[in-house]
Amino acid sequence: MKITVECERCGTKVELTPQTVGQHAYVHRELIEKDMYVFETNMGLEISPNLYMDFVDKLTQSTSDEETKEILEDNIEYNIDTEGKLEELRIDCRGCGDYIVLTEFGN
């Protein structure tokens, strides 16, 4: 499989083809070599608390900012679920300034 990005205004064209056994295509490297680049991305972040009572008890019994900071640093990753989601990806042509914004990547 391959993906082709072509500027309709000036004709600059990039083919993103897999370079590894795992079918990985190097987007940044290929775009830069052909006078295009990823201008910006828009990431969504969803945070869901998944609090354990032991964690809540430690926080409520904390008596100093330093102690609270230590409890959070040691335990936050086990008590909050996060999920990042790519919402938009913009690719720009350096030759003429035209661009495309890719959206709707799904769930």
- The 3-state secondary structure of the chain, one letter per residue: CCEEEECCCCCCEEEECCCCCCCCCCHHHHHHHCCEEEEEEEEEEEEEECCCHHHHHHHHHCCCHHHHHHHHHHHHHHHEEEEEEEEEEEEEECCCCCEEEEECCCC
* Mean model confidence pLDDT for the chain: 90
Could you tell me the pTM of the whole model?
Answer: 0.65
Look at 28-37, 77-86, 88-97 and tell me which has the smallest mean pLDDT. Answer: 77-86
Does residue 107 surpass a pLDDT of 70? no
Q: Give the residue with greater pLDDT, 44 vs 92.
A: 92
Structure tokens at 96: 């003429």
What average pLDDT does range 24-30 have in this prediction?
89
Does residue 62 surpass a pLDDT of 80? yes
